[in-house]
Structure 1
Amino acid sequence: MDFLPSEDPGAAEARRLDETDPLPTLRAEFHVPAAPDGGEAAYFAGNSLGLQPRAAAQLVNEELLDWARLAVEGHHHGRRPWVGYHELLREPAARLVGALPHEVVAMNSLTVNLHLMMATFYRPAGDRTRILIEDSAFPSDSYAVGSQAVHHGLDPAETVVRLRPRPGEEHLRTEDVVGRLEREGDRVALVLLGGVNYLTGQLMDIPTITKAGRAAGAVVGWDLAHAAGNVPLRLHDWDVDFAAWCSYKYLNGGPGAVAGCFVHERHVRDASLPRLSGWWGNDPATRFAMAPDFVPVASADSWQLSNPPILAMAPVLASLRIFDRVGMDALRAKSRRLTGYLADRLAGIDGLEVITPSDPAWRGCQLSIRVADAAGLVRRLADEAGVIADAREPDVVRLAPAPLYCTFADCHRAAEALAALLR
């Protein structure tokens, strides 16, 4: 089935938009999967796993060569010495999320980092025990907060408060979240929401909710798995207490890539905060004294447990260099153009419902579609049209035109394929 005939005026317009866009595509810097016809696929699953930067293999190979050439001496004498390798990721990651460099550390995986943060910042006492999350939180977040409640001897059914949209609506309203905090905030110990909801693609009002949560006396943390590398963030200025994100979605760091963590400056210098400690969180000035007493370094590094996994960090470094070169403001602007174009094309297709906010200010680059047999539709998109998307049970297809490598031609191709398959 040919979804892009050469005489299609829509295809010609999409190509014109690609040729004239203020930010030319960086697609050539990534490995793109093949379509069934032998060409490149239209890849819309970067909100699940980003494409591999072509520079990643070189960086990984350089570390393998240093390992072969230097063995243990690579810790101090490699081309990028391993003992401080995580420092290479610090400043580009801080620019990505709007933080001061000492507020950011690359470590572990997302849910491990959330647990480490909650070990410090979830301190239930008296009536203040509750944890606020969104009802449609990613399952791992639900598991994490529930297990934290159990760890403190509390009943998750009473401790974890799940915020739901109004009847008949898909999204949480900011005023409803703020109102809940104003009414019941004296019982809330922790607010932990997704910056961009994984299912609907809704971008939450992070600064407003953070302000309301902190005014209520709660700690406010954010899961930025679908926000980091997708939308501009200003975590320091917004006064967020902590945040964590993965690096394998929009950040293109590879499957299971090393995650990131933010801890606000007002906390990182507080050595009295309880934390789960490990060797690499100790002050580097005394780390190799091998003393039994923990001396936390005055940065987010003090939550770091172990020495950095070099081979896993190298692809993240390759991707962060691209984000640093292009900048989130330019990427966000292109994202709005691409996603707006795709949203306009989807609006005319019968048989699907876009459940992502229509206002570009309150969405990233993901568009979620409610449609019958979502999993089957995703398989047919890939097999028959070379369009790679993903499905979330029971009835949602997610399309994410990531601006680093997706094009207007990809969006046109996806819309044409959806229209044909749904017919």
Structure 2
Amino acid sequence: MNYQNTLAFAQEQDQQDPLRYFKERFYAPQVNKQDAIYFCGNSLGLQPKSAQMYIDNEMYKWANLAVEGHFKGNEPWFNYHELLAGGAARVVGAKPEEVVIMNQLTVNLHLMLVSFYRPEGKRYKIITEAGAFPSDQYALETQTRFHGYNPDEAVIELAPREGEHTLRTEDILQSIKDNAEELALVMMGGINYYTGQVFDMEAITKAGHEAGAVVGFDLAHAAGNIPVKLHDWDVDFAVWCTYKYLNSGPGGTSGVFVHERHANNPDLPRFAGWWGHDAKERFKMRKGFMPMPGAEGWQVSNGQILPMAVHRASLEIFDEAGIENMRLKSEKLTGYLEYLIDDVHAGNEVMEMITPRDPKARGAQISILVKKDAKLLFNKLMEAGIIVDYREPNVIRVAPTPLYNSFEEVYRFSEILHECLQK
């Protein structure tokens, strides 16, 4: 695409954008009594205007039915989670029976590790990316300690080559091969939260299985961001949050994927709870856990109805927009942002883009390493009505998301960035 650093070009792209009307379906935050340019969907997505209606429906049932809302009225709470399975499955490329919405991300990660990190003999090591999101680091650290291992020995962290910011796929695959005899698990992010790099999940899964290991992914920054095909890629398990690109509210509920070859295995170790027990037998209150078929068998507690209601509103928008359509626009938006950053950056040595240049190798995010006064630049952008986020020690993450961001907003950002750098 031949980009141009002009407002007219940006506005023309917006006129040609088939997703442009979705922006009206979200509330925009205010800065200085004006709509902000919100490039922070990688931390918290905007609120769908339809979310209030879905919450009000459940509040009405609570007010008028109370406990009977579990079984009476439209869409009883007893099986409310089933309303989300189809939409969630389409987001992550799974069968509906392979996904369940429950709990929160790190809780679900621990539940998955109970089942899928089964160290035995010399096969006890885990491969992950260096600098993974802290929750993943802490989960792997404490899980290995729980099994009696030293995490410094058990967890292999893959770092980029010297002088580079992102991992090469060939280095990941080679490390899996080199550690094959001791490897129990490969557990990585689908997209690295810091650099925005998309990992080749299909190739990593294949290599992990060839090495005799289980393979899982944290899709916190991938679900709702890029097309994912968990079932076809033969991934063993995955977890994700819903409050980032899936726009389902602060501290929103989480999703779990368990491949069908595991999902119907009642002998697979797990930490059981009431809601994962056979629904037909659940209220008989008897001893002896009998898991629900599919991913539902990993449920521990009854559903979080209000967060699920918000997520339902968001999933309907995703079904309407289509993840492939969103990805096509996303690649154009980040391509335009990259072009404009390069244009602004010309002639100075203040910034470096650490996100992959290949649009296929990144999500809806450009991470800018600022070599001087990074926090000051971040503060200036925020004061000017540009909501981005800052990650220590000196990275500003800019995430134009296709559902509610425009080419004109990307252009306006570049103008303000230039003005801030001039100052």
Q: TM-score range by the shorter chain?
A: over 0.9
Q: Deviations over 1:185-205 (max 9, x none)?
A: 111111110100000000000
**Which range moved further: 341-350 or 187-196?**
341-350
The reply to whether residue 167 of structure 1 matches residue 162 of structure 2 is: yes
Residue 422 of structure 1 deviates from its aligned partner by 1.2
**What is the SS of the residue equivalent to 2:20?**
coil
Bigger Cα displacement from structure 2, 219-228 vs 14-23: 14-23
- Equivalents in 1 of 2:389, 2:7: separation in Å? 23
For 2:20, the equivalent position in structure 1 comes to 24
Shift of 1:51: 0.2
Q: Within 2, Cα distance between the matches of 1:134 and 1:355?
A: 16
Provide the aligned C-alpha RMSD in A: 1.2
**Counterparts in 2 of 1:170-209, with a 5 A limit?**
170-209=165-204
Structure 2 equivalent of residue 407 of structure 1: 406
Indicate the residue corresponding to 2:378 in structure 1.
378
Give per-residue Cα distances to partners, 1:20-63, cap 9 Å, x unaligned.
22332411100101132x32111000000000000001111111
Q: Is the 8 A contact 1:14 1:409 kept in 2?
A: yes
Q: Give secondary structure in 2 for the equivalent of 1:191.
A: strand
Give the Cα–Cα distance (whole angstroms) in 1 for the partners of residues 324 and 290 of structure 2.
38
Aligned residue for 2:420? 421
1:112-191 maps to which residues of 2 (within 5 A)? 112-191=107-186
Q: Which of 92, 100, 109 is residue 105 of structure 1 equivalent to?
A: 100
Deviations 1:222-252 (A, max 9, x none): 0000000000000000000000000000000
Shift of 1:9: 7.6
On the 8 A contact 2:20/2:404 being kept in 1, the answer is: no
SS at match of 1:32: coil
CA contact (8 A) 2:5 2:340 kept: no
Residue identity matched to 2:73: G
What's the counterpart of residue 39 of structure 2?
Answer: 44
Choose from 48, 54, 63 the match for 2:49. 54
CA offsets, 1:319-378, max 9 Å, x none?
011001111000000111111111110112232111000001100110000003333322
CA offset digits 1:297-322 (Å, max 9, x no partner): 11101110011011111111100110
TM-score by length of 2: 0.96
Q: For the Cα contact (< 8 Å) 2:39–2:387, is it kept in 1?
A: yes
What SS class does the counterpart of residue 316 from structure 2 fall into? helix
TM-score for both structures, normalised by structure 1: 0.96
Distance 1:26 1:10 in 2: 24
Gapped regions of structure 2 (runs ≥ 5)? none
Aligned residues: 414
Please name the residue that 2:387 is paired with: 388
Which stretches in structure 1 are left out of the alignment for 5+ residues?
A: 1-7
Comparing 75-84 and 155-164, the one that deviates more: 75-84
